[in-house]
Structure 1
Amino acid sequence: MSTKTETSGWLFGIGAFVAWGLVPIYFKAVESVSAEEILAHRIAWCVPVTLLLMILLRKKIEVIQVFKNKKVFLGLVASTALVSSNWYIFTWAVTNEQILATSLGYFINPIMSILLGVIFLSEKLSKLQWAAVGCATLGVVNQMINYGEVPWIALSLATTFGLYGFIRKQLAVDSLNGLLVETMIAFPVAAGYAIWVLINQQAMFLNASLNIDLLLVFGGFVTAVPLIWFAAAAKKIPLNSIGFLQFIAPSMSFTLATQLYNEPLGFEQFLSFAFIWLGLLLYLIKPIQQVFTKPKATLSRK
């Protein structure tokens, strides 16, 4: 893998997780809408948004080829089920004052991604990286113990998205076509539900305000863009690297929950936060060293 490819992978990954870290702001803006209706519009509007992005980027649309490839198609059916479940749980949690629970879920998620990469893809970790995993694990375990109950929101989010990333990495389909097919698979159910609640006068869309209508349509961009970046990153850098980039989003959500939305922050939660960031710091030592040593090596060859 070339340095250019790996660098673009890191940029795509950072962009995806920063966007996901900020996404609670969007869901707070539409919290008057039910989680089911929000999800339906996210999926429904994601189809035309993805098509538009593919046209603007001049990407070849290969939907027919994907549908003909049984292995890829069945893989995308599985990834569609996982990511749709993940979207629903996250949406419900944010609109029900549970942003900290989502933050915990995405702190657990990188550990799952790392383990999936090591166990099934034979990805290797250095001693320093294993120490990083240990620190992050201590932070997550501390959070789980101090919750006082099984954190079902967090565990569900971690499981669904960890498996989603693992499956997508195995499929021979680019990020845009993959997302397009995923949303097309879910589109009939999503559009059908949106139309049903509208007919039965239970919908907020077209019945609340122009602001809500525009925000629900904008959900297509909120859904499509970070996922496209994430899928592109998953193809370009190791799964364990993706795992640690995933600390970006929950850290941002953690900050939003405690500083903007006034969810309570105790000492135990702060301790977990410190453990997890120590793990991230340990993991990043090697990549940072490589960044500063590569230019020197290049100069010495000239």
Structure 2
Amino acid sequence: MTGNAHGVNSAAPSPTEQSERRIGLACGFAAYLIWGLLPFYLRLLQGVPAADVLAHRILWSVVVVVVLISGLKGWGRVRAAVRQPRLLALLLASAVCIAINWLVYMWAILAGHAIDTSLGYFINPLVSVLFGVALLGERLARLQWAAVGLAALGVAVLTIERGALPMVSLALALSFGTYGLIRKQAAVDAATGLFLETLMLAPVAALWIASTPQGLIGWPAPTVIILALGGIATAIPLMLFGVAARRLPLSTLGLMQYVAPTMVLLEAVLLFGEVLDPARLAAFCCIWAGLAVYAFSLRRPVARAAPTR
């Protein structure tokens, strides 16, 4: 958006700009690589209920983000954020969305439905496009509508074959799409936003853990350590993504986001023994075709895009 407002600079990027881009690419790929490897981490927690994993993830994330904010000297930004009621309301809503997303994702991985999670995150970009049209007044070209239609066809194929909607995939796509929509309205940096989101969720997480027989540290020592590492697995990729988002064009980030669900799909089929049945393969093919059409539509020159001011 800001690029259109300031015009297109045809000059070659400066060494500083090239360095910033390299940093952005490295951080972006690192973030998506961590997210793509997350199923291996979660499978170490098989036998722990997904709700317990979520509660630990929230509490340990608060600890990790406190350390990060202290290291980055970001408490001034936190104090400024808590004085904004509208911002706090937005972050409370985004916290609920991301908690739902995390819970569904972790349950699906622990229950052996990694393919369904991959499908959900492939659907997510096109869900975000629909949110932009329905809620933000954005307009789509014909090719972009065709891309959305192909994704809808993929969902329809699964629904008809199974006799029910692919609830895990849709829940992940809708919850993360809603999270992104809300965070788009919240003017806050990644560390401050994550700290306040997890802080708002922490009382519920603490009450949940207190109500379980194991409590905070009642699990075997290796399990406690793995649960605690959930804070790092949550905070670090989000921080890396924040660095990448400030240094890379949105189009580049948009292409990179398919790294994680591609990794999860390959892990599910090649390593976890899940079956990519014909219906799911057909759904994936429809959604991949839709994403390809949408990516192509973004590369086409828009002749009528004359600046108005």
Q: Aligned-pair distance for 1:228?
A: 3.7
User: Given the alignment of the two structures, is residue 254 of structure 1 paired with residue 254 of structure 2, yes or no?
Assistant: no
Counterpart contact for 1:244–1:280, Cα < 8 Å: no
- Aligned partner of 1:51: which letter? V
Q: What is the distance in 2 between the residues matched to 1:233 and 1:281?
A: 23
Corresponding residue to 1:93 among 84, 108, 121? 108
Alignment partner, residue 214 of structure 2:
202
The one of 230, 237, 242 equivalent to 1:219 is: 230
Deviations 1:206-234 (A, max 9, x none): 34433211110100011122334456667
Identity %: 38
Say whether the 8 Å CA contact 2:120–2:170 is kept in structure 1: yes
Which residue matches 1:51?
66
Displacement after TM superposition at 1:157 (Å): 1.7
When normalised by structure 1's length, the TM-score is 0.80
Verify the 8 A CA contact 2:124 2:173 in the aligned structure 1.
yes
Q: Determine if the alignment matches structure 1 residue 28 to structure 2 residue 40.
A: no
| Structure 1 residue 266 corresponds to structure 2 residue 277 | yes
1:190 to 200, 205, 225: 205
Q: Which position in structure 2 is the counterpart of 1:113?
A: 128
Q: 1:6-85 alignment to 2 at 5 Å?
A: 15-85=30-100
Report which stretch shifted further, 115-124 or 148-157.
Answer: 115-124
Report the residue type matching 1:19 in the other structure: I
1:161-201 residue CA offsets vs partner (Å, 9 max, x unmatched): 1111100011111111011101111112212322332xxx3
Residue identity opposite 2:273 in structure 1:
N
- Alignment pair present for 1:156 and 2:162: no
Matched letter for residue 152 of structure 1: M
| The 10-residue stretch of structure 1 (166-175 or 60-69) with the greater mean CA deviation from structure 2 | 60-69
TM-score (norm 2): 0.78
2 CA distance for matches of 1:141 and 1:229?
36
Q: In 2, Cα distance between the equivalents of 1:271 and 1:240?
A: 27
- What SS does the aligned partner of 1:226 have? helix
Going by fraction, where is helix more abundant, 1 or 2? 1
Match status 1:172 vs 2:187: yes
Letter in structure 1 aligned against 2:214: Q
Deviation at 1:21, TM superposition (A): 2.5
**Residue of structure 1 equivalent to 2:289:** 278
Pairwise CA distance, 1:121: 3.3
Q: How does 1:105-144 map to 2 (within 5 A)?
A: 105-123=120-138, 125-144=140-159
Distance 1:72 1:41 in 2: 25
